[in-house]
Amino acid sequence: MKAKVVCLLAFAGLALAACSAGEGIVAVEDAWIPAAPPGAGVMAGYLTLRNGSAGALRCERASGADFGAIEIHRTLIEDGQSRMLRDQVIEAAPGATASLAPGGMHLMLFRPQRELKPGDTTALTLHCGETNVAASFRIQEPR
């Protein structure tokens, strides 16, 4: 009888560990950069940030060796004119996602350090307080 109880407790512990394995994870999904013409000085990056942690995320900057500078921007349309606002932050509540997509929030990628063509990848890191989230961005034809 004692062995049965020990086995059941062990099984319950394994099941609990398996169920909570995804908790606490902050991840970048669907990270992509539209291909730009050769010699372009600016590109844009898009992604989905999934916050599986117990705390809110506030990403205030991004970095990557393939770009001279990276800023977080938001597209704003006023009176039919599109303009970009910089010095934005990416925020995601616990269990929520934040999407950076064409026409909205995005990463402005300045001064590419090498030619990036469709099929290439580049590594970028989001800096969110104490949490750094690295991701591989694929260069692809615009969607």
Model-wide pTM > 0.95: no
pLDDT in tens, 41-54: 999 999 999 999 99
The predicted structure's pLDDT at residue 22:
45
Average pLDDT over residues 80-99: 92
* Tokens read off for 10: 């062990």
The predicted structure's pLDDT at residue 1:
55
The predicted structure's pLDDT at residue 136:
97
The predicted structure's pLDDT at residue 19:
36
The predicted structure's pLDDT at residue 143:
80
Q: List helix spans (H) across 1-143.
A: 2-20
What amino acid occupies position 137? F
Average pLDDT over residues 7-34: 60
Give the H or E element holding residue 69: strand 67-78
The predicted structure's pLDDT at residue 62:
97
Structure-model confidence comparison of residues 40 and 3, the more confident one: 40
- Helix, strand, coil percentages (3-state) for the chain, rounded to 5, are 15, 50, 35
Question: What is the 3-class SS of 78-111, one letter each residue?
Answer: ECCEEEEECCCCEEECCCCEEEECCCCEEEEEEE
The predicted structure's pLDDT at residue 86:
87
Can you list the domains of the chain with their CATH numbers?
23-140 (2.60.40.1890)
β-pair partners for 67: 112
Cα distances (Å, whole numbers) of residue 75 to 112, 125, 128: 21, 21, 21
The predicted structure's pLDDT at residue 4:
47
The predicted structure's pLDDT at residue 87:
78
Average pLDDT over residues 68-74: 96
